[in-house]
Structure 1
């Protein structure tokens, strides 16, 4: 293979130095013996369009997109998947050979795969899902939960109007609770999800009463710093099954890697270790 044909990919954001994606993709490239490179790129909003037009000419086959560009890239893409349109954001771009930019969102895919790969698996139809937060991550998670067959999503956000907007977009399988009543969602929830940054290192704690957690419920937090948040600690003590947020990050990376480098990677303990280096 000639040097100019080695596929290049990367992650675009601002800031981007904190991203674990380079560690994940480089691990897969190395362990699978594939030629390719994956690099972080700090790109401002003003330069985003120019950079996306230039990268394919430099040998790039695609990129991941992170904050703050996940919404803006929808306007710059030539083709957008249905799920990216529904979520209103894209995290994976494929630079096609015909010159078109293809935008997708694999966050929801990664979220569901993380639950399904938990010991004992996950039953979407076991009962309602309770969800904290109504931001961009919540949209991806809600779309994935409904698509997987969860009968109802109960949602609470500190600003109720944002949760109401989600109900307007996703329909009557969403039920909105006031933030002060968020703990009441847990009484019948088979799945509990925190999509907020509350409980993350450097952020305020998630101050929601958790005494309603049901034994055997699946509880997950999309935060992965710390790996075991207070929510997951309390859930374990209550006899719940728990899944940390790192798995979502790992699984969402799989479809992009496969499209860019031509082989499907496996998410395993070595992948987790590589991300945590």
Structure 2
């Protein structure tokens, strides 16, 4: 008798997560006896829940806000990315040990590798807008590919400074008023803020100083082409939308839980795009 392997997206809330669509697609494609669902975990229950995943009947899980930090703190083993960020978004059980990884940065890299092959052939300065959890993962990813310095620009400079303090001298913090002075040498420009997302104000920045050779990408994927990407494309910059980051960050977790390394293909992308259209 086979036992169905179960994984889930966990956090508070999780109702809008598209992770079940992604993993469900791969389970069907590979004919795997598995299940991937949603498990809401209230903040007051988080420590107890993650300490004993097996009690919930789970092989492993994804972790979303606001539990990534507490999940990492409870792990018996963390991969280098989760260790560097102090946050885990992917958990699994190994011989009773709780193991954790952070695949957000890998998702960012996988998206750019697919959407702009060779983007990292000549690394140099990069500019990251925002200083939240996504920014931290993307700073880690850029540093891993040799991009320095990484300029973190945020409306609250203290938050940018906290990221710089965490990663060291290759990361330079700035307030929003300094954006114009750091764009001129950027090889990569990344927006990690919610500005430009459907229902949020537009990200209103002047790209005139940005080199024409710079790659521009956005962690926002609703809408698929944000105002930033549209403006960058109009002036001739290469652009990559944010949807691929969501898809690629899921690959490693699926492999851990279900034993098959899946691929991000056009059918999966089309499935998520159709869901985005229905939700619009």
TM-score range (shorter-chain normalised) is over 0.9
Residue 127 of structure 1: aligned partner: 124
Query: TM-score normalised to the size of structure 1?
Result: 0.94
- Whole-Å separation in 1 of the counterparts to 2:262 and 2:268: 10
CA shift at 1:121, angstroms? 3.2
- Whole-Å separation in 1 of the counterparts to 2:179 and 2:56: 49
Residue 177 of structure 2: aligned partner: 180
In structure 2, the gaps of 5 or more residues are 276-280
The answer as to whether partners of 2:123 and 2:145 remain within 8 angstroms in 1 is no
Query: TM-score normalised to the size of structure 2?
Result: 0.93
CA shift at 1:110, angstroms? 0.7
2:193 to 196, 202, 219: 196
Q: Kindly report which structure 2 residues correspond to 1:136-175, keeping only aligned pairs within 5 A, or say none.
A: 136-175=133-172
- Whole-Å separation in 2 of the counterparts to 1:54 and 1:147: 33
- Whole-Å separation in 1 of the counterparts to 2:47 and 2:117: 45
1:220 to 193, 205, 217: 217
CA shift at 1:124, angstroms? 5.2
1:229-252 Cα offsets, whole Å, 9 max, x none, are: 100000100101111111011111
CA shift at 1:54, angstroms? 4.6
Q: Kindly report which structure 2 residues correspond to 1:25-44, keeping only aligned pairs within 5 A, or say none.
A: 25-44=23-42
Residue 65 of structure 2: aligned partner: 67
Residue 6 of structure 2: aligned partner: 8
CA shift at 1:127, angstroms? 2.5
Higher mean Cα deviation, 137-146 or 43-52?
43-52
**1:127–1:53 Cα change, 3 Å:** closer
1:129-188 Cα offsets, whole Å, 9 max, x none, are: 111011111111111110111132122110111112222221221223321121332211
Residue 278 of structure 2: aligned partner: none
The answer as to whether partners of 1:124 and 1:150 remain within 8 angstroms in 2 is no
CA shift at 1:58, angstroms? 4.8
1:90 to 88, 91, 95: 88
Residue 229 of structure 2: aligned partner: 232
Question: Secondary structure of 1:102's partner?
Answer: strand
- Whole-Å separation in 2 of the counterparts to 1:255 and 1:245: 18
- Whole-Å separation in 1 of the counterparts to 2:171 and 2:122: 15
Which consecutive segments of 4 or more residues in structure 1 shift more than 4 A?
Answer: none
2:43 to 38, 42, 45: 45
**1:54–1:86 Cα change, 3 Å:** closer
CA shift at 1:258, angstroms? 0.3
Residue 109 of structure 1: aligned partner: 106
**1:159–1:119 Cα change, 3 Å:** closer
Question: Secondary structure of 1:18's partner?
Answer: coil
- Whole-Å separation in 1 of the counterparts to 2:180 and 2:223: 22
Residue 269 of structure 1: aligned partner: 266
The answer as to whether partners of 1:62 and 1:95 remain within 8 angstroms in 2 is yes
In structure 1, the gaps of 5 or more residues are none
The CA RMSD over aligned residues, in Å, is 1.5
Question: Secondary structure of 1:103's partner?
Answer: strand
Question: Secondary structure of 2:92's partner?
Answer: strand
